A and B are shown apart, each in its own frame.
Chain A
Amino acid sequence: MRTICVICFLAGFYLMGAQTSVDLSAQVTKASFQQHRDHTEGKRKLLTFKKKSAYFNPLNYVGAGLLFVYQNIFSEQIQANCNYQISCSQFTKLSIEQNGFVRGVLGGFNQWTECFAGALYEHPPAFRSGDNKIINYTTETTIK
């Protein structure tokens, strides 16, 4: 019982400390870099499908659910810095919403394969942002 109490206390202490440090670092980062940011991502939504029929496909829920877990748990922890303006996971999610599960997943994996530093130079200058990211687009945000 005593051991459990000690573990709970340590865990609580650790979590509180981590939370405070995350809040503080987030505030400092926001204050320092907000004016230099080219692209600000809005809050990530859980699910919004383009077609009504897509709401009845369980695969879409599996795909979007896995990506939601990845984006909100794993991606936050590893502090991933993507080469693309729309990150691979977000791109996959948008593609699933717009093109369905199969095309969405394949498109997302393809972007993942092409996510390396040199990929920037395979796109014309108009598709490179000021912070050296590739300006990518899904069907919804297609350039005209």
Chain B
Amino acid sequence: MDAGFIEHLSVNQLAGEHKLYLNNLPPLSDSTNYYKTKFHLKYFNDSLLLFHYAQSKMLCDADTTLLAKTSAAFLVNSDRQKTQTWFNAIQQAPLRGDLKEIQNIYHASLNPNAFAAEAFPAQAQNAYSKYKRAYNKKPFLAGALSTAVPGLGKLYVGKTRSFIMTLILNAAYSAQTIESSRKLGLSHPLTIINAGAFTVFYLSNIYGSYQAVHKLRKEYKKQFLIDATRFYN
């Protein structure tokens, strides 16, 4: 096994040749699995990475740079189950330096109340604070506020522009409904259409405010993990 040649293939991004070379090495060897883990980290493939990591755990655990880079890659992985498998798998590995910080980031993404923003890199702190704020918002409260005043739930979530637009839109539809009911009567088709439109927009504002809390949590969580990953890569 020529480590220098593997390094050359990796640096020059010769993926096909790199794979071919690794496939011709003895398959059961620890070193082969270690290099295959590195290969699947570079050309990210979560399933194969986990498989080869399990085959050469001792060797991989000794390489803290590999563990830190893999953990950073898993932070933004879309398959939540495999990310969880990875962070469970490295529990026994010696956690120090970057690796410990990345693991803290992963745990903070699950429960932001357990960590302060200062514990993380400066460029991820802003997104983390916003994620923490969104995490502590209550969807039902947002819905209730929007029931009382259309759009207020969105203001509670932090969407000021949406609050203004929703309020104006609902006020316009309600004014239109009131005017047509006064001038044309309640049973007039135009009043019914206006009332229907107002009802749909009013209900959608309540539903939207409720959903906005969930969406904002997910969005800022993703942003926090992306910012953190950029720092460690």
A127 near B219 with CB under 8 A, answer yes
The verdict on B57 contacting chain A, using a C-beta distance below 8 Å, is no
The verdict on A122 contacting chain B, using a C-beta distance below 8 Å, is yes
Q: Which of B111-119, B174-182, B199-207 contacts A (4 or more CB under 8 A)?
A: B199-207
B207 near A113 with CB under 8 A, answer no
The verdict on A110 contacting chain B, using a C-beta distance below 8 Å, is yes
Q: What per-residue 1/0 map shows which CB atoms of A117-136 lie under 8 Å from chain B?
A: 01101111111000000000
Chain A residues 15-63 with CB under 8 Å of chain B are none
Partner of A105 from B130, B200, B226 at Cβ < 8 Å:
B200
Across the interface, which residues of A come within 8 angstroms of B161, CB to CB?
116, 118-119, 121-122
Q: Interface size bucket, B side? A: 20 to 34
B207 near A143 with CB under 8 A, answer no
In whole angstroms, what is the CA distance A108 to B208 when docked? Answer: 9
Across the interface, which residues of A come within 8 angstroms of B223, CB to CB?
124-127
The verdict on A100 contacting chain B, using a C-beta distance below 8 Å, is no
Q: How many residues of A contact B (CB 8 A)?
A: 24
Q: What per-residue 1/0 map shows which CB atoms of B203-233 lie under 8 Å from chain A?
A: 1110110010000001110110010000000
The verdict on B78 contacting chain A, using a C-beta distance below 8 Å, is yes
How far, in Å, is A138 (CB) from chain B's closest CB?
Answer: 11
B207 near A122 with CB under 8 A, answer no
Partner of B201 from A107, A109, A119, A123 at Cβ < 8 Å:
A109
Q: Which of B27-35, B64-72, B90-98, B162-170 contacts A (4 or more CB under 8 A)?
A: B162-170
Partner of B218 from A108, A111, A122, A142 at Cβ < 8 Å:
A142
In whole angstroms, what is the CA distance A121 to B160 when docked? Answer: 10
The verdict on B145 contacting chain A, using a C-beta distance below 8 Å, is no
The verdict on A144 contacting chain B, using a C-beta distance below 8 Å, is yes
B219 near A109 with CB under 8 A, answer no
B79 near A144 with CB under 8 A, answer yes
The verdict on B107 contacting chain A, using a C-beta distance below 8 Å, is no
In whole angstroms, what is the CA distance A113 to B153 when docked? Answer: 14
Across the interface, which residues of B come within 8 angstroms of A122, CB to CB?
158-159, 161-162
In whole angstroms, what is the CA distance A144 to B78 when docked? Answer: 6
How far, in Å, is A30 (CB) from chain B's closest CB?
Answer: 31
B207 near A107 with CB under 8 A, answer yes
Across the interface, which residues of A come within 8 angstroms of B218, CB to CB?
142-143
Across the interface, which residues of B come within 8 angstroms of A107, CB to CB?
204, 207-208, 211
How far, in Å, is B120 (CB) from chain A's closest CB?
Answer: 16
Q: Which residues of B contact A (CB under 8 A)?
A: 78-80, 127, 130, 158-159, 161-162, 165-166, 169, 200-201, 203-205, 207-208, 211, 218-220, 222-223, 226
3 nearest A-B pairs in the assembled complex, by CB-CB distance: A110-B208, A109-B204, A124-B223
Given contacts A113-B169, A114-B208, 13 further A-B contacts (CB under 8 A): A107-B204, A110-B204, A110-B211, A112-B204, A113-B166, A113-B208, A116-B165, A122-B162, A126-B219, A126-B222, A144-B78, A144-B79, A144-B80
Q: Which residues of A contact B (CB under 8 A)?
A: 103, 105-114, 116, 118-119, 121-127, 142-144
